[in-house]
């Protein structure tokens, strides 16, 4: 249990989807594991809807218990009792003054540590209200001064629509809070196998000499979902797959795959290296992009009839540095495809002077499956067992479920919220990182927004447009079989 003193966690947008499905369940799991001791921690929900504490609790209750945490109902009830609700608007003083009063009441209660005040504001809200909400927090709800106290804010993506709007948002928030107080969440950075990348790359002699353009032919970072935008069409249509998945989740993964070794594990040193990767990405070429939109997407009544928004994209990024020159990083993401999967595929070059003539059977490939069923496996050639001297492709397989039986892998949000409480910004996106990420995609996004590039229709439940597979092949990817 971390030393947390008196902590108030305020979830703004408490009655919304994100809060119900992610934020409160993550807090509940932290509570069950003893990370949120009830004497020191209070949780507040804030939103516009006028409901009572109990009504909010009832709305959340059903989302708390998942298959991974069959917590007894008494835990649920005890946790829910920690939550108080305050209603108010996102741009008027009154609600925030009331919120401050409620928080202060608990801070000055006999249980708090010398009135120490630590306030974590989680903005489970659309970005359009970030500036006004931050202004209100700054004006009315900051921690009541005390040396060990703090105020932190957590913001969700989408953080802007392009470079200009993101920078404007960053400046507005930056005038109110210092960078160490701002936690820009990208939940992919909380996934177990994403967090494992640093260890994998820099604690293993195996990989150190191989991880470069001399040995690696291409890298794929893939996100697939086997469902469409059901119920979220309106939101999704404004953003599209590049803003929803590629510019943030996949690009963050790319940084960890491609970055140089940081001089230490200090969050700032790690983020320095990620920024360098982003700044080394060359402008995207139109011919290295394939966009798609699944058939039926526009049937959603909240999606405009002539929407040009891609629900699928394959984009090749090229990193202009000594390690990666010439190696395509293929980022691919799609909704309504034939499977749900997120993985990194590092494909090695062919063996020079191949005496076995086994090239056609496939290449060495190292695969990191982020989800579902976390795993890492290496595809390699072995002798086909038996009397003949023939080769076959096989796998060295580390499946987490088998290897770490009984170990519960934490949800990304759970881990990241704990980091915000502990003040560790390693797994959060720094302002310059965000800017560099938008710089990469903004020209392409503007071309799509202006209708200069159009998505190719694909059948829902398919692999996406065939043109994407052709692009992959052109980039050098060799389809391997099995597994």
Helix axes 192-202, 251-258, angle to 10 degrees: 20
Shortest Å distance, C-beta 166 to ligand BG6: 16
Rounding to the nearest 10 degrees, give the CA dihedral for residues 371, 244, 246, 370: -10
Shortest Å distance, C-beta 305 to ligand BG6: 22
Tell me whether residue 292 or residue 328 sits nearer to ligand BG6 (CB atom): 292
Tokens of 447: 């071309």
Identify residues 337-396 at the interface with ligand BG6 (CB under 6 A).
Answer: 342
Q: CB under 8 Å to 355, separation ≥6 — which residues? A: none
Return d(Cα 339, Cα 171) in angstroms, integer: 40
Identify residues 275-304 at the interface with ligand BG6 (CB under 6 A).
Answer: none
Shortest Å distance, C-beta 423 to ligand BG6: 24
Tokens of 236: 């999704």
Identify residues 57-76 at the interface with ligand BG6 (CB under 6 A).
Answer: none
Return d(Cα 435, Cα 279) in angstroms, integer: 10
Shortest Å distance, C-beta 7 to ligand BG6: 26
Return d(Cα 311, Cα 296) in angstroms, integer: 11
The C-alpha angle 237, 240, 245, rounded to 5 degrees, equals 140
Identify residues 203-232 at the interface with ligand BG6 (CB under 6 A).
Answer: 225
Tell me whether residue 237 or residue 244 sits nearer to ligand BG6 (CB atom): 244
Tell me whether residue 63 or residue 207 sits nearer to ligand BG6 (CB atom): 63
Shortest Å distance, C-beta 275 to ligand BG6: 22
Is 281 within 8 Å of 440 (Cβ atoms)?
A: yes
Shortest Å distance, C-beta 283 to ligand BG6: 26
Is 308 within 8 Å of 220 (Cβ atoms)?
A: no
3-state class (DSSP) for residue 255: helix
Shortest Å distance, C-beta 448 to ligand BG6: 17
Residues touching ligand BG6, count (CB under 6 A): 4
Return d(Cα 190, Cα 30) in angstroms, integer: 14
Shortest Å distance, C-beta 225 to ligand BG6: 6
Q: For 143-212, give the DSSP string.
A: PPS-TT-EEEEEEPSP--SSHHHHHHHHHHHHTTS-GGGEEE--GGGGSHHHHHHHHHHHS-TTTTTTSS
Q: How far is CA 387 from CA 46, 357, 383, 468, in A?
A: 71, 18, 10, 41
Q: Out of 244, 365, 414, 419, which residue is the one contacting ligand BG6 (CB under 6 A)?
A: 244
**Tokens 């190696």 -> residue:** 327
For 315, list phi and psi in degrees, rounded to 5.
-130, 130
Identify residues 117-156 at the interface with ligand BG6 (CB under 6 A).
Answer: none
Identify residues 166-205 at the interface with ligand BG6 (CB under 6 A).
Answer: 187
Tell me whether residue 107 or residue 244 sits nearer to ligand BG6 (CB atom): 244
3-state class (DSSP) for residue 315: strand
Tell me whether residue 224 or residue 379 sits nearer to ligand BG6 (CB atom): 224
Tell me whether residue 165 or residue 361 sits nearer to ligand BG6 (CB atom): 165
Tell me whether residue 187 or residue 415 sits nearer to ligand BG6 (CB atom): 187
**Tokens 């799991």 -> residue:** 29
Return d(Cα 200, Cα 259) in angstroms, integer: 13
Residue 427 is a catalytic residue:
no
Tell me whether residue 2 or residue 296 sits nearer to ligand BG6 (CB atom): 296
Tell me whether residue 244 or residue 414 sits nearer to ligand BG6 (CB atom): 244
Which residue in the list 42, 187, 249, 427 is annotated as catalytic?
249
Return d(Cα 280, Cα 66) in angstroms, integer: 42
Shortest Å distance, C-beta 129 to ligand BG6: 18
Size of the chain in residues = 483
Query: Is 411 one of the binding residues for ligand BG6 (CB under 6 A)?
Result: no
Over the window 90 to 119, marking each residue x when it contacts ligand BG6 by CB under 6 A and - when it does not, the resulting string is ------------------------------
Helix axes 412-422, 24-32, angle to 10 degrees: 70
Return d(Cα 380, Cα 422) in angstroms, integer: 42
Report which residue's Cβ sits closest to ligand BG6: 244
Catalytic residue ranges: 249
- Binding site residues, ligand BG6, CB under 6 A: 187, 225, 244, 342
């Amino acid at each position: 249990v971390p030393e947390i003193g008196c902590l108030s966690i305020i979830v703004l947008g408490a009655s919304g989807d994100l809060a119900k499905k992610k934020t409160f369940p993550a807090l509940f799991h932290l509570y069950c594991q003893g990370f949120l001791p009830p004497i020191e921690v209070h949780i507040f929900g804030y939103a516009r809807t006028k409901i009572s504490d109990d009504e909010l609790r009832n709305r959340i209750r059903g989302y708390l218990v998942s298959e991974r945490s069959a917590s007894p109902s008494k835990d649920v009830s005890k946790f829910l009792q920690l939550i108080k609700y305050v209603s108010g608007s996102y741009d008027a003083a009154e609600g925030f003054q009331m919120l401050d009063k409620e928080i202060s009441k608990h801070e000055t209660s006999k249980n708090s540590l010398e009135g120490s005040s630590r306030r974590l504001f989680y903005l489970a809200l659309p970005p359009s209200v970030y500036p006004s909400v931050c202004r209100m927090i700054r004006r009315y709800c900051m921690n009541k001064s005390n040396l060990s106290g703090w105020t932190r804010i957590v913001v969700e993506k989408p953080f802007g629509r392009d470079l200009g709007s993101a920078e404007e948002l960053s400046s507005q928030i930056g005038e109110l809070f210092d960078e160490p107080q701002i936690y820009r969440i990208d939940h992919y950075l909380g996934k177990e196998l994403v967090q494992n990348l640093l260890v994998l790359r820099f604690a293993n002699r195996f990989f150190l000499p191989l991880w470069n353009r001399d040995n690696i032919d291409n890298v794929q970072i893939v996100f697939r979902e086997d469902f469409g935008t059901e119920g979220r069409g309106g939101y999704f249509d404004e953003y599209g797959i590049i803003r929803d998945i590629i510019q943030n989740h996949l690009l963050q993964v790319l940084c960890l795959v491609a970055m140089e070794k940081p001089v230490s594990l200090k969050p700032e040193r790690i983020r320095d290296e990620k920024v360098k990767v982003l700044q080394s990405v060359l402008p995207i070429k139109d011919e290295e992009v394939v966009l798609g939109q699944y058939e039926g997407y526009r049937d959603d009544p909240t999606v405009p009839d002539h929407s040009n928004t891609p629900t699928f994209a394959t984009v090749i990024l090229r990193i202009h540095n000594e390690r990666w020159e010439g190696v395509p990083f293929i980022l691919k993401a799609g909704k309504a495809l034939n499977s749900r999967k997120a993985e990194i595929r590092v494909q090695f070059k062919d063996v020079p002077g191949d005496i076995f003539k086994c090239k056609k059977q496939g290449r060495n490939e190292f695969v990191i499956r982020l989800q579902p069923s976390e795993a890492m496996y290496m595809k390699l050639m072995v002798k086909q067992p038996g009397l003949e001297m023939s080769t076959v492709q096989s796998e060295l397989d580390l499946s987490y479920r088998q290897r770490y039986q009984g170990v519960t892998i934490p949800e990304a949000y759970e881990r990241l919220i704990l980091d915000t409480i502990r003040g560790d910004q390693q797994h959060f996106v720094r302002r310059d990182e965000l800017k560099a990420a938008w710089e990469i995609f903004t020209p392409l996004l503007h071309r799509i927004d202006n209708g200069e590039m159009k998505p190719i229709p694909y059948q829902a439940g398919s692999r996406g447009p065939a043109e994407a597979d052709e692009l992959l092949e052109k980039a050098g990817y060799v389809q391997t079989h099995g597994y």
